[in-house]
Amino acid sequence: MASVALGLGSNIGDRVARCRQALCELAGHEAIRIVRHSSWYETRPVGHAGQPDFVNGAALVETSLAPVRMLETLKDVEARMGRSVTWQKGPREIDLDLLLYDDLVLGQPGLDLPHPAMAKRAFVLVPLTEIHPDRVHPVLGRTVSDLLDDLQPVDHLVRYLAAP
């Protein structure tokens, strides 16, 4: 079983309910086991400020799916939950990102591991640090909590919203 870190987000409708539903969808997959997930955090959008705030969280899962198949499964869940195509970094019913897959470093069309922007995003690092602070970024060789320290202060970027 591979150890996988996921990012979850939504900024349309009942954002927390959508993120929770995504976790339930993933938990129902025969090859995926949710190990734990973070609290939910309300965050400002990145890129296009003229849209609603997001709710973001992170989850650690174990899976027997290969990385490409895991990504396909995430996209299938997004589609079943009604994710519509807007514009890049635009509003989303649900957004599921494959952040880390074991210590795999992979670059291929449509899939880069680790996620190329995760080390610069407080909305990823805050929830991931909550559930796995010692997880090491396989390219940077630093823990997610160390990467989060580099972004401090993040009070203005992320605030606690609700328990898991």
Question: What is the distance between the alpha carbons of residues 90 and 87, in angstroms, rounded to a whole number?
Answer: 5
For 110: left if phi > 0, alpha if psi spans -120 to 50, otherwise beta; the answer is left
Residue 97 designated active-site:
yes
Catalytic-residue membership of 36: no
Active-site residue, selected from the candidate residues 15, 18, 97, 135: 97
The reply to whether 15 belongs to the active site is no
Which one of the listed residues 83, 112, 142, 149 is annotated catalytic? Answer: 83
Known catalytic membership, residue 155 = no
Catalytic residue among 20, 92, 121, 135: 92
The catalytic residue among 20, 95, 121, 135 is: 95
Residues involved in catalysis: 83, 92, 95, 97
